[in-house]
Chains A and B, each alone.
Chain A
């Protein structure tokens, strides 16, 4: 019933008819304008409203800033620390490798050097295997952790305790919910520091591009926070069962391995009714 040739090595986000319809409506209908302040309030509520993923200890992160997606979250961090001023794991988001930044293994982590960690990641399809040990090592080596949670938006059964003192900030964005054409997200910080997101939020919040926030709010108002798994849970189960694929925390990815996940987006789109 399911064509195994449609299980791909290349990861594609799920842009289904509902998501394409929202995009079409955004371009063809009048919409309300939402300010920076409106967006921060609405987006915080929406991002944290998942029934499928749980973030504990959010109260330790009182400083919330708007971002233009999680690549902005990363680039703002890089503007602060420089490309050589932070560390990442091997088997990380391809963005780093594209920029010539390479990762290390757990035992190679340098003390006092901040780190970005992607959760969930595209190798385990969930919380990476090193996570518990990383928290111990980060504490021992005084490594600040900054979490790129961009893909949390299409995941389930993820629970993260953010109260660990080494976790200093995290970012979530709408992009992976088919909104990569209007990147918008939030960054939560334990304490705010000077970087490009801070500057954007400080200087430009009154004359910022409200279009991206208004569009983000429009999608939040029209998509449930857990839209992906709520929509595709049954189909995902069936595809994996029929084709003998190993499920991950991602709705659209299967078969965790050191070579990366495989993608069932074409099957989800083809068989969704």
Chain B
């Protein structure tokens, strides 16, 4: 079985980042889109790229995500993971100072580095929400 649901992703942008949104491996060319999902496991992915050492202020903020009419703020905070790709030489400099750079950041909504942000979820989506809210 499957369902078709609407995703509405509100991003706040600083600078000129490249942003790509995927559900599983399907590229979405808008921040608001309707997508058909087979019942089962899925991943919403937001890829931020294009940041260089010359664009230190570039970032993307995930302001809100609404799926099937439900603002999933709390799911973002607990279930999402951000996998940053730190720029050099900045990353090495940090590590040299003894600062540990996280490889996976849970609940991050400020995408200051090039990164892939992921939110695993299941379909039917109403069940996913019910399983999350206990």
Residue numbers in A under 8 Å from B125 (CB-CB):
194
Q: Is A227 an interface residue (CB 8 A)?
A: no
Report the minimal beta-carbon distance from A191 to chain B, rounded to whole angstroms: 4
Q: Is A18 an interface residue (CB 8 A)?
A: no
B1, B5, B69, B129 pick with most chain A CB within 10 angstroms: B69
Residue numbers in B under 8 Å from A198 (CB-CB):
126
A194 engages B129 (CB within 8 Å): yes
For the complex, what is the distance from the CA of A21 to the CA of B87, rounded to whole Å?
80
Q: Is B4 an interface residue (CB 8 A)?
A: yes
Report the minimal beta-carbon distance from B81 to chain A, rounded to whole angstroms: 24
A193 engages B68 (CB within 8 Å): yes
Encoded as 1 (CB less than 8 Å from any B CB) or 0, chain A from 191 to 224 comes to 1111000110011000000000000000000000
With A198-B126, A202-B130 known as contacts, the answer to whether A193 contacts B69 (CB < 8 A) is yes
Q: Is A10 an interface residue (CB 8 A)?
A: no
Range, interface on chain A: 10 to 19
Q: Is B70 an interface residue (CB 8 A)?
A: yes
B3 engages A194 (CB within 8 Å): no
Report the minimal beta-carbon distance from B6 to chain A, rounded to whole angstroms: 9
Residue numbers in B under 8 Å from A199 (CB-CB):
130
Report the minimal beta-carbon distance from B99 to chain A, rounded to whole angstroms: 42
B130 engages A81 (CB within 8 Å): no
Report the minimal beta-carbon distance from A82 to chain B, rounded to whole angstroms: 10
Q: Is A80 an interface residue (CB 8 A)?
A: yes
Residue numbers in B under 8 Å from A191 (CB-CB):
3-4, 124
For the complex, what is the distance from the CA of A203 to the CA of B4, rounded to whole Å?
24
A81 engages B69 (CB within 8 Å): yes
Which chain A residue shows the least CB distance to B123? A191
Encoded as 1 (CB less than 8 Å from any B CB) or 0, chain A from 126 to 167 comes to 000000000000000000000000000000000000000000
Encoded as 1 (CB less than 8 Å from any A CB) or 0, chain B from 1 to 17 comes to 10111000000000000
Residue numbers in B under 8 Å from A194 (CB-CB):
68-70, 125-126, 129-130
For the complex, what is the distance from the CA of A122 to the CA of B5, rounded to whole Å?
33
Report the minimal beta-carbon distance from B23 to chain A, rounded to whole angstroms: 16
* Residues of chain B in range 101-134 having any CB-CB distance to chain A below 8 Å: 124-127, 129-130
For the complex, what is the distance from the CA of A120 to the CA of B130, rounded to whole Å?
35
* Residues of chain B in range 34-72 having any CB-CB distance to chain A below 8 Å: 68-70
Residue numbers in B under 8 Å from A193 (CB-CB):
5, 68-69, 126
Which chain A residue shows the least CB distance to B1? A62
Interface residues of B (CB under 8 A from A): 1, 3-5, 68-70, 124-127, 129-130
What would be 23 A-B contacts, judged by CB atoms less than 8 Å apart? A62-B1, A80-B69, A81-B69, A191-B3, A191-B4, A191-B124, A192-B124, A192-B126, A193-B5, A193-B68, A193-B69, A194-B68, A194-B69, A194-B70, A194-B125, A194-B126, A194-B129, A198-B126, A199-B130, A202-B126, A202-B127, A202-B130, A203-B130
